[in-house]
Amino acid sequence: MKKESPPTGLSPGSSVEEARRVLMDAIGQLSLAAHFSRACLRRAELIARGSQRWHKPLAWFRPSGTQADALQGSLTEDGRTMQVTVWLYRMLGEPQLASQCSCGTAPCAHAAALLLRLQQLLDWPRAMSPVERWQQSLPLYQAPPSAPVMGETAAAWHPACLLDTVAEPDGQWLCARLVLVPGTDGMDQPQRWIGAESAKARPHLSRQVTMWLAQLALGRRLAGRPSDGYLLQGHSGAALLLEWLEAGICRHASTLQPLTAGLLRRPPWHWRVDEDGTIALKLVTDDGEAVIPLSLDSLHYLDEGSHQIGQLDLDAITWAMVRDMPVVTLDEREPLREAWPPHACLAAVPPPPPTPPSRPLDAPMRPVVVIGASRHAQRGHYVFHLQALADYASRRLPLVKEAWRTTWNRLEGAALVSIHRDIDAEHRAREALLAAGLATLATILPSARRELSPLPVAEAWAHREWHEGDADTFVALETHLQNLRRDGFAIEYAPDLPFAILGEAPRFHATLAPDEGTAWTQFELAATLDSGEEIDVLPLVLAGLAGRQFPLLPATDEPPDAHWLAPLGPGRWLPLRLDWLRSWLHPLMECLRHPGQLAGHRALALSRTQAMAVSDALDRQGVALAGARAEAIGGMLAALRDAMALPAPPLPASFRGNLRSYQRDGLKWLQALRTQGLGGVLADDMGLGKTVQIIAHLLLEADAGRLTAPALIVAPTSLVFNWLDEITRFAPSLRHLNYTGPSRTDRLPDLPGTQVVVTSYALLANDIDALAAQDFSVLVLDEAQWIKNPRTRTARAVRRLRAPHRLAVTGTPLENHLGELWAHFDAVMPGYLGDQRSFQRTFRVPIERQDDHQRRDVLRQRIAPFLLRRRKADVAPELPSKTETVLRIAMGETQRQLYESLRLAMHDRVRDALARHGDEASQVVVLSALLRLRQACCDPRLLELPDPPPSAKLDALLELIQSLRDEDRQVLVFSQFTSMLALISTALEQAGHAHAQLTGDTTDRAEPVRRFQQREVPILLASLKAGGVGLNLTAADAVIHYDPWWNPAVEQQAIDRAHRLGREQPVFVYKLLCEDTVEDRIESMKSDKAELADLLLDKPGAPAAADARTLHALFAPNPSP
């Protein structure tokens, strides 16, 4: 006996016995119930015990390119020989089993019986390949026994013998069925034939036909098959065939063509090379057609081309050897070639061809689904099926077919490509198909292979819901399958699909043309195919919107290349990418609220901002734009882009001040917006001088005579006076009007004659009817975050104002969410970002919830020309090391009333003291009165009065701190009153701002300083006495003086805590003053009279007292508005 060699794939040093023991242990632990049904296992028990059925030996091998153990055996059952192969392997760590049997069923009882024999130790595997097993069995082949030849008989009625070929496990056989044909013309009327074995035929049977029937009955009948009849076997079958051929009654069962006797033929042998590199020995005709010998007493052939049956010059033993030869794999080709011929009977057979060179291929696997359709023979509609493939660098294999095979070979020309499969990835792709509601077509429609035409592939899949129907079902299936793209699938269409999906990339082109006689723009969108066909895309999209055929909001799991099939006609669609559709649809949603009313329209009428947004979106998608309006929009956007490269316009001589370089750039941008009649958002950081840029812009407009109507500035109440002061400071020539106060409506007639009107958001909402009736040249919305909620009265009022040039000014264009950015743009460029709902669908949800970087980039690019934002870090070299800003705050009505009543009382008290005691002796009374007034400005609660009014300054402080924190600033707040710092601390806690506090009562002064310096807290509250000297607070880049101190040197010392040597970043200083109060007057006197500090402070060398005129000025009433 030949010595066993280890199966291919064993590690070096492993013995056959060790490997066999591991295999037998694995088989012993295998749960057959997990792989075979109960009925199958019961039958397998009977088959396994029949030892006489099993042919020795049982082969055990490891196929090349796999990680599987294969077992192969054969047995005889009911006269038929079964070849059984079982593969054992692991996938994702779990044991798997696959089988193949010549009985045609998998898994079958024969495979289970083979494993049972191994588990029960009834058999023992021998290490040999299938070819080695075949070679070992060759001496067992014997010639069939001879049998006597039957004599001829005659027929009395018109018999016919219908012959067909039948494939059985042990070869190809002829099947015969006798029928009686009535009359001489009955051969053309099969419906009139009767079977020779039927009762109707008995009166018409001749003696010869009766003998034929008796001889057939001795053989094996194939009942219940399409080829119902008897197998012709051995000498008796050959004799019957000869008699029928001589009698001329043989017909082909399928074509009904007459069959005649043919000459002896000797077809050549041919080694067939399959696409995976395996080879098999075949008989072929001279023109290359395969010849399958028919087993009788000798081998015969049936030539359907010439309609002949004859003998082959080939002995049965040789044919049996070749017929039973297994497919020769790559690693078995050379050993078989070297040992050829393995038997003397095969000496005339050519040896196997040499093994071709092999080239390994390591490529990632991409799953592919190909959609196909077949007609149902009974119902007439379509059945949609899918072919699932694993694509390795354009080499495609059936997905998870023969999962135990890790290497798949493909013959390409003269070379063999070895594809290394990613079985785990293929398995995950299969799980994705199951999760998507797909199953094998045979599971969903068991009769598919009998009732469908064309016939689907054997491994076809189908969707459980969308597999039967017509065009609507196909669209639903195709839309659902797009979700597979998330799992890496490519979706393709079968060439014979009865529907047309225009897969070619069309060339889109849009037209933006003026609407005659109006300011609207006519928008058209079309596509041109490579064939030259022109398609109007816009009507298709409008119809799709009306029918809700595609979602306007992307689903969380929508693949990035998802598309909508736009119907072009019966069975014809144009795929349009959804992200492309949404990009230009969203600014149009306001005019598409009722798309059904627009169905059939070739064009849409767009506003100017909508046309700009659509033009920008299509241009970024590479869509060609044509038309006069498209050219105008392109020129407009180009002018904005080029504005920064142009020299800044010269400032009018009446401008009092200087603009830094970046402020001149801002002025150029503002002028470019005005030239094009556009709005914009000036979003520079706080402290970079947005106000002065706007004032310079307005002064240029006035100087050029373009302020034909007043400019309206809307600001928070606390900043109205700051605007008025800045206008007076930088542009005193501008005629400006303060539209605030109880008598403001009396000034309405003066609006047309003024150049700049300043009002507050609160008053705008109250007086909107009067202001909406007025035309304005420019609208400026300062601190535009006040209208970030578009549903408020104030925001709605802003949208009613009439102004062609609208500007939003804010240091925080985006605080909480993108809806605030939309609100700013909708106030200055209505419609440019679409309506609120479409903006949320197109940008806000994808960016905020799905972190869609592509959508974010599109939005950034779209707003870029109309939003100017410079950060302090961007322009740091141009900034002074310290920038001081005075913020004047208007008191609320109740606080103002309290202050005025207190001022009158204190003024009377001071006058009385001065009259009685003189200037020097009245100093205590004066300082006490000033203290009370300053407390009323800081917060009325400091006066300890019942039911004090709210503090406008505290509200302004909280707004300022919020803006600074939005810019991530470290804020240092000074106040002289520790009680005020306590109130500020409480307010900060309620607003959620972490902070530290440093006062004279702080025991550990180092701890709050350390926390602030190390940025553990962003805000430090400090009293002037405790934090004003001796500390290093260089972490602060914003210093706020909540209440002014008389002595500028003390304030400067406090500022110097942050503005010290070694600090690289500039410091911004803010002073909060209540408008028209003692604070405002003290600040003015500090600059006008430097000696004021000496007058009011107990300081050596100071004058004894202030003069009475100066003191009376501090308590003077407010000037009339």
Instruction: Convert the pLDDT of each residue in 332-364 to its tens digit.
Output: 889 999 999 999 889 889 999 998 888 898 899
Q: What is the residue type of 530?
A: D
Residue 801: band (very low, low, confident or very high) from pLDDT cuts 50, 70, 90: very high
Q: In angstroms, rounded to a whole number, what is the distance separating the alpha carbons of residues 60 and 68?
A: 11
Q: In angstroms, rounded to a whole number, what is the distance separating the alpha carbons of residues 7 and 1024?
A: 92
Mean pLDDT value across residues 718-747: 87
Maximum distance among all Cα pairs of the chain, rounded to whole angstroms: 165
- Please determine, for residue 941, whether its predicted confidence score (pLDDT) is greater than 90: yes
Instruction: Convert the pLDDT of each residue in 40-53 to its tens digit.
Output: 888 888 888 776 67
Same fold, 652-878 and 883-1114: yes
Which pLDDT score, from 0 to 100, does residue 1095 have? Answer: 38
Q: In angstroms, rounded to a whole number, what is the distance separating the alpha carbons of residues 392 and 398?
A: 11
Q: In angstroms, rounded to a whole number, what is the distance separating the alpha carbons of residues 211 and 197?
A: 12
Chain centroid offset of residue 1031 CA: 55
Contact 466, 477 (CB under 8 A): yes
Task: Name which of 543, 385, 368 is nearest 461 in CA terms.
Answer: 385
Torsion of CA 438, 442, 447, 452, to 10 degrees: 70
Q: In angstroms, rounded to a whole number, what is the distance separating the alpha carbons of residues 368 and 389?
A: 5
Report cis status (omega within 30 of 0) of the bond before 398: no
Who has greater pLDDT, 61 or 290?
Answer: 61
Report DSSP state, residue 274: P
Which pLDDT score, from 0 to 100, does residue 686 have? Answer: 73
Contact 678, 868 (CB under 8 A): no
Contact 972, 984 (CB under 8 A): no
Range from 68-82, 178-192, 379-393 that averages highest in pLDDT:
379-393
Mean pLDDT value across residues 263-278: 88
Q: In angstroms, rounded to a whole number, what is the distance separating the alpha carbons of residues 250 and 247?
A: 8
- The domains of the chain are located at 16-128, 159-346, 365-498, 507-637, 652-878, 883-1114
Least confident span in 385-399, 799-813, 1021-1035: 1021-1035
- Please determine, for residue 452, whether its predicted confidence score (pLDDT) is greater than 70: yes
- Please determine, for residue 156, whether its predicted confidence score (pLDDT) is greater than 50: no
- Residue 322 phi/psi, 5-degree rounding, is -70, -40
Which pLDDT score, from 0 to 100, does residue 438 have? Answer: 94
Least confident span in 140-149, 193-202, 905-914, 955-964: 140-149
Contact 325, 252 (CB under 8 A): no
Question: Where are any strands of DSSP class E within 189-348?
Answer: 194-195, 221-222, 229-232, 250-252, 260-261, 269-273, 279-284, 290-291, 294-295, 299-303, 308-311
Phi-psi region of 1066 (alpha: psi -120 to 50; beta: other; left: phi over 0): beta
Which pLDDT score, from 0 to 100, does residue 58 have? Answer: 84
Instruction: Convert the pLDDT of each residue in 83-129 to its tens digit.
Output: 889 988 887 777 888 888 888 787 898 989 888 888 887 777 888 88
Instruction: Convert the pLDDT of each residue in 501-544 to its tens digit.
Output: 887 678 888 888 877 766 677 888 888 887 778 888 888 888 88
Chain centroid offset of residue 157 CA: 77
Instruction: Convert the pLDDT of each residue in 203-237 to its tens digit.
Output: 888 888 888 988 888 888 876 555 578 989 888 88
- Please determine, for residue 1034, whether its predicted confidence score (pLDDT) is greater than 50: yes
Least confident span in 160-169, 306-315, 510-519: 510-519
- Please determine, for residue 1093, whether its predicted confidence score (pLDDT) is greater than 50: no
Instruction: Convert the pLDDT of each residue in 870-922 to its tens digit.
Output: 877 677 666 566 778 888 888 888 999 999 999 888 888 888 877 777 666 66
Who has greater pLDDT, 548 or 383?
Answer: 383
Which pLDDT score, from 0 to 100, does residue 79 have? Answer: 65
- Please determine, for residue 1106, whether its predicted confidence score (pLDDT) is greater than 60: no
Mean pLDDT value across residues 807-812: 88
- Please determine, for residue 1102, whether its predicted confidence score (pLDDT) is greater than 50: no
Instruction: Convert the pLDDT of each residue in 466-501 to its tens digit.
Output: 989 898 899 999 989 988 988 899 999 998 888 888
Q: In angstroms, rounded to a whole number, what is the distance separating the alpha carbons of residues 866 and 861?
A: 10
Instruction: Convert the pLDDT of each residue in 839-877 to its tens digit.
Output: 887 788 888 777 777 778 878 877 888 889 887 767 766
Q: Mean pLDDT in the chain?
A: 82
* CATH assignment of 883-1114, among 3.40.50.300, 3.20.20.70, 3.40.50.150, 3.50.50.60: 3.40.50.300
Give Cβ neighbours of residue 1087 (< 8 Å, ≥ 6 apart): none
Task: Name which of 336, 343, 340 is nearest 320 in CA terms.
Answer: 343
Q: 163: buried, middle or exposed (CB in 10 Å: 19+, 13-18, 0-12)? A: buried
Contact 680, 673 (CB under 8 A): yes
| Residues of the chain by 3-state class (helix, strand, coil), percent to 5 | 40, 25, 35
Residue 601: band (very low, low, confident or very high) from pLDDT cuts 50, 70, 90: low
Which pLDDT score, from 0 to 100, does residue 678 have? Answer: 86
Range from 8-22, 389-403, 601-615 that averages highest in pLDDT:
389-403
Which pLDDT score, from 0 to 100, does residue 227 have? Answer: 55
- Please determine, for residue 596, whether its predicted confidence score (pLDDT) is greater than 60: no
User: How many helices and strands (H and E) does the chain possess?
Assistant: 35, 50
Q: In angstroms, rounded to a whole number, what is the distance separating the alpha carbons of residues 650 and 642?
A: 18
CATH code of 652-878, in short, is: 3.40.50.10810
Which pLDDT score, from 0 to 100, does residue 727 have? Answer: 92
Looking at the chain, the whole-number percentage of residues with pLDDT higher than 70 is: 87
